[in-house]
Structure 1
């Protein structure tokens, strides 16, 4: 197993989600590999600092806004070449069409 495999297990190990064999292998690797050991210590320090932060309650309408954003149909966006239009049309006309189509917005979720 490589270091990336064990680094991906940091959270699972801390949350006691590994089976006995995986946990033993994880501990052995952390003790043997200096780099992973240091990274795991930093991970634990960061977690400890996060626990000191005050928990905030999410606004009641948050899930509604998320679901609304997910189910909202996205407006079709034009590619650069679609905005330029049909190359057989005169350039002036294509430029006008491109300007009419600008700006192109995509729908997204905003929490602001």
Structure 2
């Protein structure tokens, strides 16, 4: 059975529950926030959870940390790569550089591997 829904149904738990019931999902993901107005969102990063890597819009690839915390999130730290990067102004205002947080449901909601 097909399940259609708006962003209210595109949370990780709702997605998992519907998929476990055997529904084919057509859910609109919630809009992503950017670290900088008009800048890059998570969709602009190539995330490969199988290989354990993330690649930023400038082409820098870093490893993903192992899942941790209550929500089992993974992080990609682009600290050294941000220094001198020509895209930095569109990516991060953090002095240490961009940190991308990957939630477990990213692969299901955004078509990542």
Q: TM-score, normalised by structure 1?
A: 0.22
Structure ID, larger Rg: 1
Give the strand-richer structure, 1 or 2.
Answer: 2
Larger RCO (CA under 8 A, 6+ residues apart)? 2
